[in-house]
Each structure stands twice: as C-alpha cells, then as structure tokens.
C-alpha cells in the first residue's frame, strides 16, 4: 500500500510540473527586441538571395541548352554542306578545332563573369555585416 501511494504522489507531482517546464522551454529560445529584428532581416535577405540564385540558375540552364542546341545544329549543317568530318583525335583540326576554340573562349568569359559576381557578392556581404554591427553597437550604447 505504501509503495502504491508513493507512485501516485510521484505521478501527481510529474503531472503538475511537466506543463510548467514545457512552457518555460517554449519561451526561453524566442528572440526579442533587437535580436528579433536582426533575425527577421537576415531571414528576408537569405530568402531573397536564394530566390535570385535559383532564378539565375534556371536562366543559365535554359541559355546553355539553347546555345548547345544551336551549336550542334550549326555543326551538323556544316558537315552536311562541306562534307568535312571531324577528327576523333585529342587535338583535332578543321571544324572541331574551331568549335573547341570558341568553346574555350566562352568558358573563359564565363569564369571571369562568375568571379566578378562572387567578388560583388562578397563585398556586399561584408558591407552588410559592417552596417549591421555598427547599428547594433549604436543601439546597445543607447541603453543604460
């Protein structure tokens, strides 16, 4: 009888304190004040960046497919007209050589553009970080 009573008391204590502990845990990790504003701004900027990146990637994929299709069609048409077939060697001449040179120059331009984009992105991130830190410092200095 004493063992059952102990179990009942322990169960009642757990049933009473569990909701209080759960409620305290829910509110402990929610940001407020300046942190909430910074959190919201960060989330908005991240979402905008992801959306922009996805859109650029879709456009780049479509452009690549269009250019590849046009290049293959041109190559096929030239083969039919001239009767020149490309060499299968590692460094071919003729039509394939011209195509390889064009491809290489386009890739070079693409790499340069990607590098410029990454530099601009990095500079923008650094500027936003500095601005955010200075705003946070200014705001916190105003508090007693």
pLDDT the model gives residue 69: 92
* Six token digits for residue 44: 């908005």
Structure tokens at 28: 């402990």
Pick left, alpha or beta for residue 89 (phi over 0 → left; psi -120 to 50 → alpha; otherwise beta): beta
What is the per-residue pLDDT for 79? 82
In contact, 58 and 78? CB cutoff 8 Å = no
- Domain limits, the chain: 1-30, 32-85+92-141
Residue 8 pLDDT: 54
Question: What does the pLDDT read at residue 5?
Answer: 52
Say what the pLDDT of residue 91 is.
65
Q: Which helix (H) or strand (E) holds 11?
A: helix 2-28
CA–CA gap between residue 103 and residue 70 (Å, rounded)? 13
Sequence-separated contacts (24+) of 83-91 with Cβ below 8 Å: none
Per residue of the chain (144 residues), give pLDDT as tens. Answer: 454 555 555 555 555 555 554 454 555 566 577 788 888 888 998 998 899 889 989 998 998 899 899 888 988 888 888 877 766 666 666 777 777 788 888 888 888 988 888 898 899 899 989 988 888 888 887 665
What does residue 90 show for φ and ψ, rounded to 5 degrees? -65, -40
Rounded to whole angstroms, the Cα distance separating 100 from 76 reads 15
The reply to whether the predicted model has a pTM over 0.85 is no
**Assigned token pair, 31:** 């940001």
């Amino acid at each position: 009888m004493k063992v059952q009573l102990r179990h009942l008391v322990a169960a009642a204590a757990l049933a009473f304190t569990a909701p209080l502990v759960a409620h305290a845990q829910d509110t402990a990790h929610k940001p407020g004040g300046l942190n909430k504003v910074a959190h919201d701004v960060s989330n908005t900027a991240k979402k905008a960046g992801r959306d922009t990146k996805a859109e650029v990637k879709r456009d780049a994929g479509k452009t690549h497919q269009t250019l590849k299709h046009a290049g293959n069609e041109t190559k096929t048409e030239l083969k039919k007209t001239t009767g020149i077939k490309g060499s299968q060697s590692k460094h071919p001449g003729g039509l394939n050589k011209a195509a390889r040179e064009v491809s290489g120059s386009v890739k070079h331009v693409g790499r340069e553009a990607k590098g410029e984009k990454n530099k601009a992105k990095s500079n923008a991130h650094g500027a936003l970080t500095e601005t955010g830190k200075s705003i946070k410092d200014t705001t916190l200095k105003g508090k007693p």
